[in-house]
Amino acid sequence: MYDRQTETWWQQATGEGIVGEHAGKQLAFVPSPVMRWNDVKEQLPDAKVLSRETGFPSYRARYGVNPYQGYDTRSGPMEWTFSGDTSAQLPRMERVVTLHEGGDNWAVPFSALKEEKVVQLEVGGRDVVVFFTPETVSALDAKRISSSRSAGSSAVYERAAAGRTLTFEPTADDGSYRDRETGSLWSFSGRATNGEFAGTQLTEVPHGNHFWCAWALFRPETKVWTR
């Protein structure tokens, strides 16, 4: 990416300026979890939705269409870009939740999250929890995104609420999460829906959902979470 004011080049995976006036500068990350529309409607009913009426009618038909069909398969169009031994740590097209805090880098594989649903770890001295939902479809599978296979998505929050560090676990069947300390139920959006903490919102933590091959290229010192 480049900015129009100075034409500095920026690395999109890390937010670092690499060429130009701002080379060596770091952009501030902001939380941006990917959520399926059903969850947004249920959990964030006041959310605003960008209009498709952009003034460019020819682009309207492109919404919901994937120009990179099969991109995220492990033997798909990206296969030709890899050479040599790519077996270290994780498969190259493994989706990972990435966390970068105070020089500490972690990756949590989606394959592990599909089993655990909740992962708790410390990143740069910060206690965080990763929530996972399996139903979100891939935007890079089928030509029509609505027909794509499920890939899942993640959200990351601080584990602290009202000065207490909480321990989370998935509930049995409704896609919510429970803290063991009070039994309060929490949604994927990080809000307690009932119990002692009802109405409390967990603090979002900036994170990325990357393919392992892309993240490991720029953060080779990353530690991989394992069960």
pLDDT digits (tens, 9 = 90+) for 9-31: 999 888 999 999 999 999 999 98
Share of the chain above pLDDT 90, in %: 66
For 209-223, write each residue's pLDDT tens digit. 999 988 998 899 999
Q: Is residue 149 part of a domain?
A: yes
Least confident range from 32-36, 203-207, 218-222: namely 32-36
Residue 167 lies in a domain: yes
Considering only CA atoms, which of 85, 34, 93 is closest in space to residue 213?
Answer: 93
Residue 130 lies inside a defined structural domain of this protein: yes
Range of the domain at 169: 95-227
Mean pLDDT of the chain: 90
Decide if 34 contacts 132 (C-beta within 8 A): no
**Can you tell me the mean pLDDT for 176-200?**
95
Residue 195's pLDDT band (cuts 50, 70, 90): very high
pLDDT (tens digit per residue) in 136-158: 999 999 999 999 999 999 999 99
Residue-wise pLDDT for 37-77, tens only, equals 888 999 889 999 988 888 887 777 788 899 888 888 755 55
15's tokens: 């937010």
Q: Find the radius of gyration of the CA atoms of the chain.
A: 19
Residue 55 lies in a domain: no
In a domain, 9, yes or no: no
| Confidence bin at 85 (pLDDT 50/70/90) | low
Q: What is the domain count for the chain? A: 1
In a domain, 22, yes or no: no
8 is a domain residue: no
Query: Is there a domain that residue 86 lies in?
Result: no
Confidence of residue 103 (pLDDT cuts 50, 70, 90): confident
Query: Could you tell me the CA-to-CA distances from 73 to 68, 194, 202, 225 in Å, in that order?
Result: 11, 39, 34, 22
Structure tokens at 155: 């959200």
